[in-house]
């Protein structure tokens, strides 16, 4: 948006962003969405009966009830749709449940964007800029056992995610559905962290693969070069580094120390970066 000057009145530029670090980021979508209820045929529609439909109903009723202490505890961020019973009444609830109004009445919500097809559409306008530094961490909790991809351990995977890791290992795109992109192979998407596929987290791959370099040891990429997605695979499920600092322990601290150190020491330019609202001299 900065590169596209999407903020009227501000002379924005992609050079305002010095570096970008992705940690377990869904850069190319996830097959998890299909298990939860998105149709693999188009990546935009939901199955009539699925977990997502149940979640959709729960979110609608939650926001319609508009109980202050509950909303203070957790807010789904749908207040701008004005779904409260005070605003729409009972008839409004019926419209919300039928999908005629509210956040789920169009395809503009998170799950369609997390399908492989949705990510492909978003990535079709995505650019890797020549003056920005990129580094991504892809998480993985799987391994090969007799040629079959399985969860790497029983105790090493969070109980909430073990079944999901196993499910994603076993995902097979429906034979009667068009492939989400040319060259798609189920086996490429087997490694995962229980929420996202490892292949999706390294760098933008579809519809066009962006410049990238696989990193085994951080010393292999000193100094970083701009315009390249450096990516490293680390052992951990999706909760380990994203949610639960206590569970990750020292690994968590070392990971973030490395991110901040890289920002301080390795991300430098031959010329000073352009800063917002900085006058030219």
Domain boundaries, the chain: 14-40+113-266, 51-106
CB atoms within 10 A of CB 52: 17
Indicate whether 185 pLDDT > 90. Answer: yes
Percentage of the chain exceeding pLDDT 70: 89
Region 228-238: what's the mean pLDDT? 88
Integer Cα distance of 147 and 262 in angstroms: 37
pLDDT exceeds cutoff 80 at 52: yes
Residue 186 scores a pLDDT above 90 = yes
* Lowest-pLDDT range of 30-44, 88-102, 106-120, 156-170: 156-170
Asked if pLDDT for residue 273 goes beyond 90, the answer is no
pLDDT over threshold 70, residue 204:
yes
DSSP H or E stretch at residue 229: strand 229-235
Q: What is the pLDDT of residue 268?
A: 55
Average pLDDT over every residue of 4-18: 87
CB 84 within 8 A of CB 66: yes
For range 28-49, the mean pLDDT:
93
CATH number of 14-40+113-266: 3.40.50.1820
Q: pLDDT, tens digit, for every residue of 108-147? A: 788 999 999 999 999 999 999 998 889 999 999 999 888 8
Give the whole-angstrom CA distance, residue 126 versus residue 133: 15
- Average per-residue pLDDT for the chain: 86
CA distance 119 to 125: 11
- Can you tell me the distance from the alpha carbon of 188 to that of 198, in angstroms, rounded to the nearest whole number? 9
51-65 vs 85-98: helix crossing angle, rounded to 10: 160
243 pLDDT tier (thresholds 50, 70, 90) = low
């Amino acid at each position: 948006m900065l590169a596209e000057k999407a903020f009227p009145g501000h002379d924005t530029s992609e050079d305002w962003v010095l570096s970008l670090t992705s940690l377990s980021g869904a850069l190319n979508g996830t097959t998890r969405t299909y298990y939860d209820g998105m149709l693999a045929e188009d990546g935009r529609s939901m199955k009539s009966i699925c977990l997502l439909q149940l979640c959709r109903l729960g979110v609608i009723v939650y926001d319609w009830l508009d109980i202050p202490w509950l909303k203070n505890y957790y807010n789904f961020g749908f207040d701008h749709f004005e779904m409260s019973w005070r605003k729409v009444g009972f008839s409004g609830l019926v419209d919300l449940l039928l999908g005629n109004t509210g956040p789920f009445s169009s395809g503009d919500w998170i799950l369609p964007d997390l399908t492989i097809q949705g990510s492909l559409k978003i990535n079709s306008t995505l650019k890797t800029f020549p003056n920005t530094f990129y580094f991504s961490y892809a998480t993985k909790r799987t391994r090969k056992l007799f040629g079959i991809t399985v969860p790497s351990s029983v105790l090493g995977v969070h109980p909430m995610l073990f079944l999901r890791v196993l499910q994603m290992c076993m995902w097979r795109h429906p034979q009667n559905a068009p492939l989400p992109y040319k060259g798609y192979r189920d086996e490429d998407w087997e490694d995962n962290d229980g929420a996202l596929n490892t292949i999706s987290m390294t760098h933008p791959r579809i519809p066009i693969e962006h410049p990238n370099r696989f990193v085994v040891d951080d010393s292999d990429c000193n100094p970083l070069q701009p315009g390249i997605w450096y990516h490293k695979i680390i052992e951990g499920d999706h909760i380990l580094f994203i949610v639960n600092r206590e569970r990750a322990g020292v690994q968590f601290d070392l990971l973030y120390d490395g991110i901040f150190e890289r920002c301080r020491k390795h991300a430098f330019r031959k010329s000073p970066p352009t800063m917002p609202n900085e006058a030219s001299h």
